[in-house]
Amino acid sequence: MIVTLSQAVEQILSGEPVAIPTETVYGLAASLFHPDAIQKTFRIKGRPADNPLIVHISDLQMLEHIADNIPDEVAQLARNFWPGALTLVLPKNSKVPDHATAGLDTVAVRMPAHPLALQLISVTGPLTAPSANRSGKPSPTSAQHVLDDFKGLVPVLDGGICSIGLESTVLDLSQKPFTILRPGMIGVAELRQVLKCDVTMPHNHKVVRLANETETDFENKDEKDEKQKIDKHGIDKLRKSPGTRYKHYAPLARVLWASSESYRTHHSRVLVIRHLAQTKFGTEIHTYDQGHVYSFHGDYEQFATQLYELFRRADREGYQTILIEPFPEPITNPVCLALKNRIEHAISQDSNLPETLS
């Protein structure tokens, strides 16, 4: 059901979750100080209780009741990036309910850049909001996606299509060196430039997965190699961010990396995503006997706004496979890194087939 802003306020204040628009993806919002409502969001999503939530604020004063020992760098980051797609992990204030942070002693906070979200929060106060999808599925980038996922049972404040389309960058400021726990549109270079200090970026955010993982999967025995040391540090940090340990963003269709022409020999119904050199801009869609090919002309921002819609479209239209052309390496564009991260999380793990077709 679609609701108005004042109905959304009413719902939140009476302890009911409401899906809200942000510039990244839709969030399933509940009042931070309404523990039952927060628990409902976990139940509705089918989200594991050990995966903490992001608290959304509309002004900096709200931060004082949420975080403690706020580092000086926060003011600088807020000036440059808030409202915006940057989530900061900070030491938690004791007023924040433990199940919002899954028992961690830190809390993740962000000020979203969407006028409806800001207006809502300025009336209701801080809101927890995980992405408003069923746990493990692609995030919703439109009100319709939320209605589809929850069969219309969750009230949705419709704020249009999300302008970014990928989740925020999560930056851990609770210890040094500062570390990116989830890559997003705001990249490591931009953060280093504003902070004028080192910010680490684990080399392989995909590391973390899954059902059959063991403790030793995280150990890195070769301490001599500097890159591996950085990785190990990053991986230790990622273990602090439980959300990165689960399979995510996955449609029902199998997702695979595949070189540009291999799709022609693929036999199941296939959705192909290509991104061509920067010769021209825009999206091109063409059909062939096995399915559809989407071509993005080097415009990663545009690709980001459509990735989850393409994943969802593949499921709606019964495609068995989504083939995505690998990005040219080395990747420096932060949107491209974030896209790669989400795609790798979505790649099916439950098959004996190779993950990459060439």
Binding residues for ligand TXA, per CB under 6 A?
22, 24-25, 27, 51-54, 87, 89, 101, 104, 106-108, 110, 112, 129-131, 167-168, 170, 181-182, 240-244
105: exposed, middle or buried (C-beta count within 10 Å: 0-12, 13-18, 19+)?
exposed
CB of 22 to Mg ion, least distance (A): 12
237: tokens are: 């940090």
Query: Do residues 261 and 241 lie in contact, with contact meaning Cβ atoms separated by under 8 Å?
Result: no
When CB distances are held under 5 to 8 angstroms depending on the partner's kind, the choice from ligand TXA, Mg ion, none that residue 179 binds is: none
User: Which residue has the closest beta carbon to Mg ion?
Assistant: 131
The smaller minimum CB distance to ligand TXA, of residues 103 and 152, is found at 103
Give CA separation, 28 vs 41, 240, 242, in Å.
7, 22, 18
Minimum distance of ligand TXA from residue 54's CB (angstroms): 5
Rounded least distance, CB 182 to ligand TXA, Å: 6
In the complex with Mg ion, the residue whose CB is nearer, 131 or 141, is 131
Q: Which is nearer to Mg ion, 24 or 131 (CB)?
A: 131
Strand pairing class (106-110; 86-91):
antiparallel
What is the rounded distance in angstroms from the CA atom of residue 73 to the CA atom of residue 88? 10
Q: Which residues here bind Mg ion, judged by CB under 5 A?
A: 131
337 binds, among Mg ion, ligand TXA, none (CB under 5 to 8 A by kind): none
For Mg ion, give the closer residue by CB, 131 or 179: 131
Burial track 183-206 (b if 16+ CB lie within 10 A, e otherwise): bbbbbbebbeebbeeebbbbeebe
CB of residue 57 vs Mg ion: minimum separation in angstroms?
19
Q: Pick the closest to residue 341 from 236, 184, 151 (CA basis).
A: 184
Q: Which is nearer to Mg ion, 9 or 129 (CB)?
A: 129
Q: Indicate the helix (H) or strand (E) that contains 181.
A: strand 178-182
Residue type, 42: F
Whichever of 17 and 52 has its CB closer to ligand TXA, that residue is 52
Instruction: Select from Mg ion, ligand TXA, none the partner in contact with residue 12, using the beta carbon and a kind-dependent cut-off of 5 to 8 Å.
Output: none
Q: Which residue is nearest to ligand TXA (CB)?
A: 243
